[in-house]
Amino acid sequence: MRQMASTYSTLLAFIMAALFISGGAAHATGPEVERPKKPADPLIGPPFVTCKAWVIADGHTGEILAGGNEDEQRNPASITKIMTALVVLKLAEESPDVWEETITFSERADKTVGSSCRLNAGESLPVKELLYGLMLPSGNDASVAIAEHFGPRLAMENENGYDAFIRTMCETAKQLGMERTSYVNPHGLTHETHLTTAADMVKLTCEAMKYERFRDTVATRNHSTIVNTPEGEDRTVSWTNTNRLLAQEGYLGVKTGTTTAAGACLVSCAERNEKRLVMVVLGSTSSDARYVDARNLYRWIWKEIAAESQDE
């Protein structure tokens, strides 16, 4: 034991000596050059935020009012589901009976990883109810069930239904002028070619918010529904909206999303003095940070809008 302690002491002394010599050698080459300080923080302009990209637009016209890195492609996470919902909204626009159709969960939907609306394979419910399961708890499983249900009617010859739904998402993006957006799934789990920009997300969100059913859904804080089990029984499922801004007056929804690659994302809509804004925040450092980023940006832009109104 003593011999081991002696050996350890000798080894420690050797390491300390090596570090001292290394430090001394580095010091001998001259003192470290001190880098010049960055300019003082500006007192005007948008607030500092943790997000990698953001944009604010007029909620009615889609006109971009301010932004930072808004054209930079990034992973979108679950805000992808705004497009998933829009495909269904457009189908229902042509045939309102779509909302009463019954969707039955497949094994594939049930086993989809990530956020979940907590339905099991074989369970079923109306489309109008599953829209809440898609948008409130950020249901990855719900998005797959929706794609599988509606894909076959969108499919071209020899095309898989699920793939047809994804193709329709991409085609809808092009129709909206979302030039830097590409989809490979309906939920937003990370893929190297599943990308969007903050500016593109504004175009998508302004389009989706034209639909009353979408507006009502994303503004709902809690929703419960009955699902039918394969055994013919009923059970109640309840969903809570992940968007914490809804607890604050003036915020109208829309969608959260989080993955390691995307960071914490938030698409939101707010209204004040009869003016509506849509904001997209991509890549915040945490779930809490995305709300701080968004609220600080809203406070700033509302003041800017008020100041411009006074100058007119």
Say how many C-beta atoms besides its own lie within 10 A of residue 158's C-beta: 5
Which residue type occupies 161?
G
* Alpha carbon 81 to its chain's center: 8
* 224 given a catalytic annotation: no
Selecting among 9, 22, 38, 81, the annotated active-site residue is: 81
Selecting among 52, 78, 203, 268, the annotated active-site residue is: 78
33 SS3 class: coil
Token duo for residue 213: 């059913």
* 81 given a catalytic annotation: yes
- Coarse DSSP helix, strand, coil percentages of the chain, rounded to the nearest 5 percent: 45, 20, 35
Flag whether 203 is marked binding.
Answer: no
Task: Enumerate the β-bridge partners of residue 196.
Answer: 74
User: Degrees (nearest 5) of the Cα angle 272, 273, 275?
Assistant: 70
Selecting among 38, 90, 116, 138, the annotated active-site residue is: 138
Q: What's the rounded Cα separation, in Å, for the pair 284 and 222?
A: 25
Closest CA to 78 of 266, 238, 292: 266
Say how many C-beta atoms besides its own lie within 10 A of residue 60's C-beta: 13
Residues annotated within a binding site: 255
Which residue ranges make up the annotated binding site for substrate? 255
Task: List, by residue number, the catalytic residues.
Answer: 78, 81, 138
